[in-house]
A and B are shown apart, each in its own frame.
Chain A
Amino acid sequence: MDTFVQVTLNGLTAGSTYALIALGYTLIYGVLKLLNFAHGDVFMVGSFIGFGTLQALGGTSDPVVPVWLLLILMVLAGMAGCAILGVAIERFAYRPLRDAPRIAPLISALGVSFFLANSMQLMFGADQRNYGTFALGNGELFTKGFSIGNVHVPLIRIITIVAAFALMVVLWFLVTRTRTGKAMRAVSFDREAAAMMGIDIDRVIVFTFVLGSALAGAGGVMFALRVPTAASIGFVIGLKGFTAAVIGGIGSIPGAVAGGMILGFAESFTTGYITTRWSDLAIFTVLITFMLFRPNGLLGRAGVSKV
């Protein structure tokens, strides 16, 4: 029973991180029909920006602001930095290729991913960076919280899970209620028709990159609050976020959240009940199963190709 609670909690934590990344993939895929391979590396850059903010504000041992404000500032800095990065990537690596065959921006995206990962390694080294959050406020982020049975649920986990879902709600509001959000959905439905209706496509695409990259930045900071980060994490974590988006039905926002959760639970249950070594294989099996039996994903629409 305790194992089950612990595993579920782990699944929920990992799942919320994957969901945040998957949302970025799905949003960008929706408007550009492009799998942004660099997205995982944007996440990684976000985690480094959080680290830099933490250091600038005095580090974990002697922060100049209260802990709650520190956390908020770190997340906000990660979101802002990644939003700028995302817009720059779109402007210089994807926009010139908008009318090229679909394989061209994908290859360009590979280049961006590789460039970002190695640039970070160049600037900050290949070593792991640990936020050292345990030192914050005498470890209250870890000691506080509540218990289910014998399982202690630390405050930091509650914060990251709640914050992730709060961001998803905000995103849902932005996409369904605001003018730009509605324009975004129109563009993802039919770009040419949307352009003819007077929607500024470039603006919508930039907005999408801001949203998607900011989510990745927030996810990166919240991830690194618990787990050490490094310049090389972007590849694997991006791959999983990207898998979550495909499983959920690429292009669908609720699908990305669902896909992220499925992946998080698949991973934590394999790790908890079988072995850590083969958790990637479990996710791959889930992916292949979906490809075979539900290629459009959990909540994806079956595309009707116009001939």
Chain B
Amino acid sequence: MSEPREPHDAPSGPAIGQDEWVARHGDNRSARAGALGTIEARLRTVPWWGWLILLVAAFALLPIVSPSGYVRRVAFDTTVYMLLALGLNIVVGWGGLLDLGYVAFYGVGAYAYALLDSKLFGIHLPSIVSIPLIVLIGALAGFLVGLPSRRLVGDYLAIVTLFFLQIFLTVTTNGDEILGKNITNGANGILNVDPLNFLGHDLTVEHAGVFAVSYLYVGVAIFAIVYVALHFVNVSRTGRAWRSLREDPLAAETMGMPVSMLKLMAFSFGAGVAALTGTLFASLNASTFPLTFSFPLLITIYTMVILGGQGSQFGVAIGAILISVLLELLRDPSNARVLFYAFAVLAVIAALGRSRALGAVLAGTLAFGFAAHAIAGAIQHDWVAGTTEGGLASTVSSWVIVPTTLGDWLGPVAYISLIGIGLTLTLIRGPLRYILLVPTLYLAAFVWENVLLVQPEPTRYIVLGAMLIALMVVRPNGIFGERRVEII
């Protein structure tokens, strides 16, 4: 639509050794045509603080738009996730290090706050003192954990940090008897933790039974401060050095950057942010328990960072919002069902495009379902007499076979077959793929209604695990990631 622009100072005429395609590289990049391309180009010019203001404004307006305490609570939890994602982004996105003990530092922060501001030891430090102290404690813990694997080569760092997570869980769980003293109250957790307090005023968690906005606003304010501070670090010499060592540690070292020290710094910065977030978490819930800080949370945060795009602060914040909302929606069967069928239809559209096959596959799946349902019902009424709950239940149960009882083996067999066939489909090309897609989609619906929907807890985590694998394989730089070329 627009004429190709001349590069700003194009050398006159082609010359030998002149890399013409590079000269036009900037024009080649925004190759997407039409309105979408224009929007994309416009969005690129939005400054970094523009995005931050957008995020903060959205969260600040949320309680005004919706008076629901539930919405506020979810928004607060999302803020916590966003902070955690920002911290992990320092280590993974900028430092390129694999920190598998990250949630343990979050736990260190929460437990440190619980010890410094609760009835357990009768210490009640003002937040203005305890918060900075805890950030330092977290950063120091990160430093000490990173230290033994001096070279901090990926694999060794991974094992030391992962084991550190395990040790953190062991210590907190068995901490009701460390040398005869009760330090962490063990698996029962520390209760009666103080809320945050500023200038002698406690921050209220609930107001007349509804989640108060104060915590949400404090959380968003901390998020904004951390976001800005980290952005400034990223564009300083330290941030450049972090990204350099992610790209090529050896080259960074020979260009005068003390790589080991910088890695430890990135590591303890991440730990510090995690610990800060821990104080927010512990003070809101007025309690801490060991199992909050375990493997599932680690995977959740990694999925957020990878989905949003490692390296981009705005990206990981968006990743945190998307995953947080997704996990929340999956809690409720009717929301989860809508989400599933919408995703299935969109995935088929994305895979087949606007072709004749698309209509055929969708219509075929519908027909296949009614036929299968009718046949199964005719043979044995129990096979289709099962009850489903939640929205759309009646519509769906006249299409998907839902038996009254699955028996011990039908669920596992269907689930394993679905995964097997689904993975095989990615390898098949040609018309067979479309033909197989129909029963596969129906099988997916069957598994969804009978196996996945009835067990929300493992289902949410299965979704996260599958997302993480699929993202790494299909789009490792996520939605907004800055890494495009990978070094071998």
Chain A residues in the interface with B (C-beta under 8 A)? 29, 35, 88, 91-93, 96-97, 99-108, 110-116, 118-119, 121-124, 235-236, 239, 242-243, 246, 250, 277-278, 280-281, 283-284, 287-288, 291-292, 295, 305, 307
A287 partner residues in chain B, CB cutoff 8 A: 159-160, 163
The chain B residue with its CB closest to the CB of A238 is B162
When chains A and B are docked, how far (Å) is the Cα of A277 from the Cα of B180? Answer: 13
Find out whether the CB atom of A119 lies under 8 angstroms from the CB atom of B160.
no
Give 1 or 0 for each of B407-430: 1 = CB within 8 Å of chain A CB.
000011001100100010010000
B302 partner residues in chain A, CB cutoff 8 A: 107, 110
Closest Cβ of chain A to B254, distance in Å, is: 9
Given contacts A100-B486, A103-B92, contact A93 B473 (CB under 8 A): yes
Question: Contact check: which of B154, B156, B486 meets A295 at CB < 8 Å?
Answer: B156
The chain A residue with its CB closest to the CB of B169 is A280
Find out whether the CB atom of A110 lies under 8 angstroms from the CB atom of B160.
no
The chain A residue with its CB closest to the CB of B148 is A291
Across chains A and B, the number of contacting residue pairs, with CB separation under 8 Å, is 144
The chain B residue with its CB closest to the CB of A102 is B154
Find out whether the CB atom of B415 lies under 8 angstroms from the CB atom of A123.
yes
Interface centre among B149, B155, B466, by most chain A C-beta atoms within 10 angstroms, is B155
Closest Cβ of chain A to B294, distance in Å, is: 9
Closest Cβ of chain A to B372, distance in Å, is: 22
Given contacts A100-B486, A114-B468, A235-B295, contact A284 B163 (CB under 8 A): yes
**B188: Cβ under 8 A from any A Cβ:** no
Question: Contact check: which of B167, B303, B461 meets A284 at CB < 8 Å?
Answer: B167
**B60: Cβ under 8 A from any A Cβ:** no
A105 partner residues in chain B, CB cutoff 8 A: 472
Question: Contact check: which of B92, B154, B472 meets A97 at CB < 8 Å?
Answer: B472
11 sample A-B contacts, Cβ–Cβ < 8 Å, listed by A number: A103-B98, A107-B98, A110-B468, A114-B299, A114-B468, A121-B458, A122-B451, A122-B452, A123-B412, A246-B155, A295-B150
The chain A residue with its CB closest to the CB of B305 is A107
**B119: Cβ under 8 A from any A Cβ:** no
Find out whether the CB atom of A114 lies under 8 angstroms from the CB atom of B98.
no
Find out whether the CB atom of A281 lies under 8 angstroms from the CB atom of B170.
yes
Beta-carbon contacts under 8 Å, B22-44 to A:
none
Find out whether the CB atom of A122 lies under 8 angstroms from the CB atom of B455.
yes
Question: Contact check: which of A29, A111, A243, A280 meets B170 at CB < 8 Å?
Answer: A280
A288 partner residues in chain B, CB cutoff 8 A: 148, 160
**14 additional contacts, CB 8 Å, given A107-B468, A280-B167, A295-B156?**
A35-B155, A88-B423, A96-B473, A99-B488, A108-B473, A110-B299, A110-B468, A115-B462, A118-B461, A122-B451, A122-B455, A123-B412, A239-B166, A291-B156
Question: Contact check: which of B299, B419, B455 meets A111 at CB < 8 Å?
Answer: B299
Give 1 or 0 for each of B315-346: 1 = CB within 8 Å of chain A CB.
00000000000000000000000000000000
A93 partner residues in chain B, CB cutoff 8 A: 469, 472-473
**B306: Cβ under 8 A from any A Cβ:** yes
Given contacts A122-B415, A278-B174, contact A101 B163 (CB under 8 A): no
A235 partner residues in chain B, CB cutoff 8 A: 295
List 6 A-B pairs, minimum CB-CB distance, nearest first.
A111-B468, A115-B465, A114-B465, A111-B469, A108-B472, A123-B412
When chains A and B are docked, how far (Å) is the Cα of A246 from the Cα of B160? Answer: 10
A92 partner residues in chain B, CB cutoff 8 A: 423, 426, 469, 473
Find out whether the CB atom of A119 lies under 8 angstroms from the CB atom of B462.
yes
A283 partner residues in chain B, CB cutoff 8 A: 163
**B255: Cβ under 8 A from any A Cβ:** no
**B379: Cβ under 8 A from any A Cβ:** no
B423 partner residues in chain A, CB cutoff 8 A: 88, 91-92
**Interface size, chain B (Cβ < 8 Å):** 57
**B151: Cβ under 8 A from any A Cβ:** yes
Find out whether the CB atom of A246 lies under 8 angstroms from the CB atom of B250.
no
Find out whether the CB atom of B149 lies under 8 angstroms from the CB atom of A295.
yes
A124 partner residues in chain B, CB cutoff 8 A: 412
Closest Cβ of chain B to A283, distance in Å, is: 8
Question: Contact check: which of B150, B164, B415 meets A119 at CB < 8 Å?
Answer: B415
A122 partner residues in chain B, CB cutoff 8 A: 415, 451-452, 455, 458-459, 462
The chain B residue with its CB closest to the CB of A84 is B420
Beta-carbon contacts under 8 Å, B388-423 to A:
411-412, 415-416, 419, 423
Chain B residues in the interface with A (C-beta under 8 A)? 92, 96, 98, 100, 148-151, 154-156, 158-160, 162-164, 166-167, 170-171, 174, 177, 250, 295-296, 298-299, 302-303, 306, 411-412, 415-416, 419, 423, 426, 451-452, 455, 458-459, 461-462, 464-469, 472-473, 476, 486-488
A246 partner residues in chain B, CB cutoff 8 A: 155-156, 159
Closest Cβ of chain B to A296, distance in Å, is: 10
When chains A and B are docked, how far (Å) is the Cα of A122 from the Cα of B465? Answer: 13
Closest Cβ of chain B to A37, distance in Å, is: 8
A35 partner residues in chain B, CB cutoff 8 A: 155, 158-159
Find out whether the CB atom of A280 lies under 8 angstroms from the CB atom of B487.
no
Closest Cβ of chain A to B440, distance in Å, is: 16
Closest Cβ of chain B to A97, distance in Å, is: 6
When chains A and B are docked, how far (Å) is the Cα of A110 from the Cα of B177? Answer: 33
Closest Cβ of chain A to B93, distance in Å, is: 10
B156 partner residues in chain A, CB cutoff 8 A: 246, 291, 295
Interface centre among A96, A97, A118, by most chain B C-beta atoms within 10 angstroms, is A118
When chains A and B are docked, how far (Å) is the Cα of A105 from the Cα of B303? Answer: 14
B159 partner residues in chain A, CB cutoff 8 A: 35, 239, 242-243, 246, 287
Find out whether the CB atom of B472 lies under 8 angstroms from the CB atom of A111.
yes
Question: Contact check: which of A88, A100, A111 meets B465 at CB < 8 Å?
Answer: A111
When chains A and B are docked, how far (Å) is the Cα of A277 from the Cα of B172? Answer: 11
When chains A and B are docked, how far (Å) is the Cα of A113 from the Cα of B98? Answer: 16
Given contacts A96-B473, A101-B487, A110-B299, contact A239 B163 (CB under 8 A): yes
When chains A and B are docked, how far (Å) is the Cα of A29 from the Cα of B158? Answer: 14
B461 partner residues in chain A, CB cutoff 8 A: 114, 118
Closest Cβ of chain B to A101, distance in Å, is: 5
When chains A and B are docked, how far (Å) is the Cα of A239 from the Cα of B295? Answer: 12
When chains A and B are docked, how far (Å) is the Cα of A277 from the Cα of B412? Answer: 36
A242 partner residues in chain B, CB cutoff 8 A: 159, 162
Given contacts A106-B154, A114-B299, A281-B170, contact A123 B465 (CB under 8 A): no
Closest Cβ of chain A to B414, distance in Å, is: 10
Find out whether the CB atom of A239 lies under 8 angstroms from the CB atom of B155.
no
When chains A and B are docked, how far (Å) is the Cα of A277 from the Cα of B250? Answer: 42
Find out whether the CB atom of B412 lies under 8 angstroms from the CB atom of A107.
no
Find out whether the CB atom of A111 lies under 8 angstroms from the CB atom of B155.
no
Find out whether the CB atom of A97 lies under 8 angstroms from the CB atom of B473.
yes
B473 partner residues in chain A, CB cutoff 8 A: 92-93, 96-97, 108
When chains A and B are docked, how far (Å) is the Cα of A35 from the Cα of B162? Answer: 12
Closest Cβ of chain A to B9, distance in Å, is: 35
